[in-house]
Amino acid sequence: MSEFSFGGEVVWRPSDEIVAESRLKKFMDSHGIASLEELQRRSTEDIEWFWTAVLNELGIEFHSPYERILDTSRGIAWSRWCCAGKMNIVHNCLDKWRGTGVARREAIRWEGENGETRTFTYEELNHEVCRLANALRVRGMEKGDVAALFMPMMPETVAALFAVIKLGGIILPLFSGYGAAAVAERLRDSEAKFLFTVDGFYRRGQKVLLKPVADEAVSSSVKHVLVFKRLGISIPWTPSRDLWWQEEVVQQSDEAETDQTDAEDPMMIIYTSGTTGRPKGALHTHCGFPIKAAQDMLLGFDVRREDVLYWVTDLGWMMGPWEVFGTTLLGATMVLYEGALDFPGPDRLWSLVDQHRVSILGVSPTLIRSLMRHGTGPAEQHDLSSLRILGSTGEPWNPDPWLWFFHTAGKGRLPIINYSGGTETSGGLVSGNVLTPLKPCAFSGAVPGIAADVVDEEGVSVRGQVGELVVRRPWIGMTRGFWKDPERYFQTYWSRFPDVWVHSDWAAVDEDGLWYILGRSDDTIKIAGKRLGPAEVESVLVGHPVVSEAAAIGVPDPIKGEALVCFCVLKPATGVSEELREELRTRVAEQLGKPLKPDVLKFLDDLPKTRNAKIMRRIIRAAYLNHDPGDLSALENPQSVEAVRNAL
């Protein structure tokens, strides 16, 4: 790709107080480490020392100690961790807090879209988990059974996740917005024996009926469907299979034994969509995903026991389990919200921060772009003084939305901890932290313990230009493969360069050592021999004062190889005109070069996005070319796909 010229000036520097009080600095001091550079080097060169130090810092308790922290005898791609150790992560998230001050602290603050609120202390959550685990035992759940979780964000969703894992089962979180076909495919692939769902929930003021979707999706492997009564409405019922959650747990004891699993026993399958073929079921273990999540919260986001963390996500997306495992391992508080963040008005996000005194807020760049349309007024209606840390993940930033979030939510005084990794990595490969000065859109660097690099097409390290993001050493959170598809896992990540994980993201490191993610490398646009990421084009477009969102794709062109096609969402009360269209096309040409002037630029009311606000360029491209866009069940707004076609 081209030379990197994102630029930008430092806009945030940590105060002496922030540095001194940070968990990252205290971790470094406890090990005699003087600088972040030294920590990064030592954490990737002495893997056994670093991950042992992380387990100790997190206070992870084992039923039987591990003999070796890492075994790579089958190759780096098939690394095993905490070998021969016995450890159930639920013991560390819940059991070990019993009788401590944490037990009385709030584990969950929940708000329904209709304004209903509930809280669960750690003790109350543990009791709910035990009652449900006992009910599952009665219904025949055994170690290794897969249980799917098809529920909105609510306390019982967390309880179900922990109850299954407590018994040695494997949890399968599913996006609550999936259609029946997507749920059915994942139930069949995982051979799930149990399915948790609700009668329905609220979304933009409407009752979304989830049980009928579950009924349509249920496969022959599912023996029991546990239904939580959220709305109290009449729903279809199969007496031989369906069970009311409340009736199952009401007679159960609030004490239950936690199964003593091996540290490497499967704990979770979480599916991530591929650009082609069936979804990939990333497999995670007790000593993998949760440890990585908590480590990143501690060293990256500076999460402390008194913090209240709200990350805008669904449990079916990686950041949902990340929030649950990370906060409970650290004894902090999570906020869960059931509904849409634009209902009943565009201030709902800021209302949640105000109401629940959120101290750490995580969003996607696309969500901020959509909120920018409404100006700063909605945020100014609420008290945001509880915020201490801002976070973001899901998509590359553009400078203007980043700065809007920085000034609107953080008043120019809070760091935005940019965070990028994935479902298969259990969290971040690159991240911000509270010790490193920040430029807009930047990451401080690789996460401690992650031997990340940026390489050219030959696998050679590059700086000052865009290349492929790779990881050169194993880490504890890497997926243990794809469920029932080991060859696909190896081909996806390990086949390009020997013993190197290729993540399929474009990345760059600037002259100050700050990192940037510039989009998926499989979204790459190649015009007359020049390769560029969509984020480069989209940053130019959303930098225009009337553009709130943009998507750029490449389509086949007989002369140039690919032609550039752009879609823009305009801010309210902005009129569409040929003059504006040409102004935007010219703006791209002036800033990126005349050969990169968009051949086509169209205006839309909305872009196809997932519920966690990730723009689906693959689907936009398929719709533009009138190809089959594939599974649309993850989309928040499937009608937008037809809008792309109609725009043509």
The DSSP line for 14-45 is --HHHHHH-HHHHHHHHTT---HHHHHHHHHH
What digits encode the pLDDT tens for the residues 264-289? 999 999 998 654 456 789 999 999 99
Q: Is residue 488 part of a domain?
A: no
Using CA atoms, how far apart are residues 565 and 551, in angstroms rounded to an integer? 8
Residues 6+ apart with CB under 8 A from 437: 10, 12, 13, 14
What digits encode the pLDDT tens for the residues 353-365? 999 999 999 999 8
Q: What's the pLDDT score for residue 6?
A: 57
Tell whether 282 and 411 lie within a shared domain.
Answer: yes
Tell whether 301 and 391 lie within a shared domain.
Answer: yes
Q: What's the pLDDT score for residue 182?
A: 81
Tell whether 76 and 116 lie within a shared domain.
Answer: no
Average pLDDT over residues 235-246: 97
Tell whether 285 and 344 lie within a shared domain.
Answer: yes
Q: What's the pLDDT score for residue 8?
A: 82
Tell whether 155 and 233 lie within a shared domain.
Answer: yes
Q: Is residue 640 part of a domain?
A: yes
Using CA atoms, how far apart are residues 508 and 453, in angstroms rounded to an integer? 9
- Mean residue pLDDT of the chain comes to 93
Tell whether 444 and 340 lie within a shared domain.
Answer: yes
Average pLDDT over residues 98-104: 97
CATH classification of the domain holding 632: 3.30.300.30
Average pLDDT over residues 460-464: 95
Residue 332 scores a pLDDT above 90? yes
List helix spans (H) across 208-338: 211-217, 245-249, 289-299, 319-330
Tell whether 46 and 151 lie within a shared domain.
Answer: no
Q: Is residue 607 part of a domain?
A: yes
In this predicted structure, which of 198-212, 347-361, 531-545 has the lowest mean pLDDT? 531-545
Q: What's the pLDDT score for residue 277?
A: 52
User: Cis (ω within 30 of 0) for the bond into 344?
Assistant: yes
Where is mean pLDDT largest: 175-189, 271-285, 373-387?
373-387
Report pTM.
0.87
Where is mean pLDDT largest: 182-186, 328-332, 570-574?
328-332
What digits encode the pLDDT tens for the residues 483-515? 999 999 999 999 999 999 999 888 999 999 999
Percent of the chain with pLDDT over 70: 96
DSSP states of 505-544: EEEEE-TTS-EEEEEEGGG-EEETTEEE-HHHHHHHHHTS
What token pair was written down for 294? 């908590």
| Domain final position from 449, 477, 511 | 449
Residue bearing the bigger pLDDT, 32 or 181: 32
Q: What's the pLDDT score for residue 59?
A: 98
Average pLDDT over residues 607-628: 84
Q: What's the pLDDT score for residue 595?
A: 77
CATH classification of the domain holding 238: 3.40.50.980
| Domain final position from 449, 471, 502 | 449
Domain that holds residue 147: 96-249
Number of separate domains in the chain? 3
- The residue type at 479: T
Q: Is residue 445 part of a domain?
A: yes
Using CA atoms, how far apart are residues 143 and 129, in angstroms rounded to an integer? 16
Residue 299 scores a pLDDT above 50? yes
Average pLDDT over residues 397-421: 96
Residue bearing the bigger pLDDT, 212 or 557: 212
Tell whether 307 and 423 lie within a shared domain.
Answer: yes
Tell whether 187 and 239 lie within a shared domain.
Answer: yes
3-state SS assignment for residue 408: helix
Average pLDDT over residues 135-152: 98
Nearest CA to 359 among 272, 277, 417? 417
Q: Is residue 626 part of a domain?
A: yes
Q: Is 626 exposed, middle or buried (0-12, 13-18, 19+ CB in 10 A)?
A: exposed
Tell whether 142 and 108 lie within a shared domain.
Answer: yes
Residue 83 scores a pLDDT above 80? yes
Average pLDDT over residues 546-552: 94
Residue 162 scores a pLDDT above 60? yes
Residue 523 scores a pLDDT above 80? no
Task: Count CA atoms closer than 13 A to 348's CA, side-chain side.
Answer: 21
Q: Is residue 301 part of a domain?
A: yes
Neighbours of 540 (CB within 10 A): 22
Q: Is residue 602 part of a domain?
A: yes
| Domain final position from 249, 281, 309 | 249
Q: Is residue 471 part of a domain?
A: no
Tell whether 290 and 439 lie within a shared domain.
Answer: yes
Tell whether 302 and 341 lie within a shared domain.
Answer: yes
